[in-house]
Structure 1
Amino acid sequence: MGKVAYKPVGMLLGIGAGLLAGVIFKQVWKVAAGDDDAPDATDEERGWGEVLAAAALQGAIFAVVKAAVDRGGAAGVRSLTGKWPH
């Protein structure tokens, strides 16, 4: 499977990773902060520390989930085709 053929698969995996990361972040935030809703950057009621901590946590979770999904997708392609997608 060539690079061009893998692109649509990679895009679908990326969308799925983003959705999964959002669900995981909401659950982690609930446990960590004891609050159902993470703060928005423009939320006047929340302080800088809380807003920046939420953003850092969300970014870290997204990066880990995306890397895991991308790596799993590439490994799946290799097992099906015998070639690693580049």
Structure 2
Amino acid sequence: MSHMLRKVAYKPVGLLLGVAAGAVAGFVFKEVWRLASGDDDAPNATDEDRGWGEIIAAAALQGAIFATVKALVDRGGAAGIRRITGEWPD
């Protein structure tokens, strides 16, 4: 399989994995926030009743979880493609 064909063939897989990663990360964040804060909903940045510290903590936690889940899914997807095709995707 040519380099260009492999690259194009991996694009839809990467997109589907990205969507799945976003869904998983959103679920994980909600559960972690619930455990950490005792509140069912994380604060929105424009929520007037929430303080800066709570908003920044929620944003930092959410960013860390999303980045970690994305890295795990991307790396796992690439490793799966290598097992199937014998080559690492670009």
Q: Is TM > 0.5 for Structure 1 vs Structure 2?
A: yes
Q: Which has the higher contact order (CA 8 A, sep 6+)?
A: 1
1:22 corresponding residue in structure 2: 26
Q: 2:75 aligns with which of 68, 71, 79?
A: 71
- Which ranges of structure 1 fall in alignment gaps of 5 or more residues? none
Matched, 1:51 2:55: yes
Structure 1 runs (4+) deviating above 3 angstroms are none
Please identify the structure whose Cα radius of gyration is greater: 2
The TM-score normalised by the length of structure 1 is 0.98
Cα RMSD (Å): 0.8
Identity of paired residues, percent? 72
Cα distance, 1:4 vs structure 2 = 1.1
- Which ranges of structure 2 fall in alignment gaps of 5 or more residues? none
The TM-score normalised by the length of structure 2 is 0.93
Distance 2:70 2:57 in 1: 20
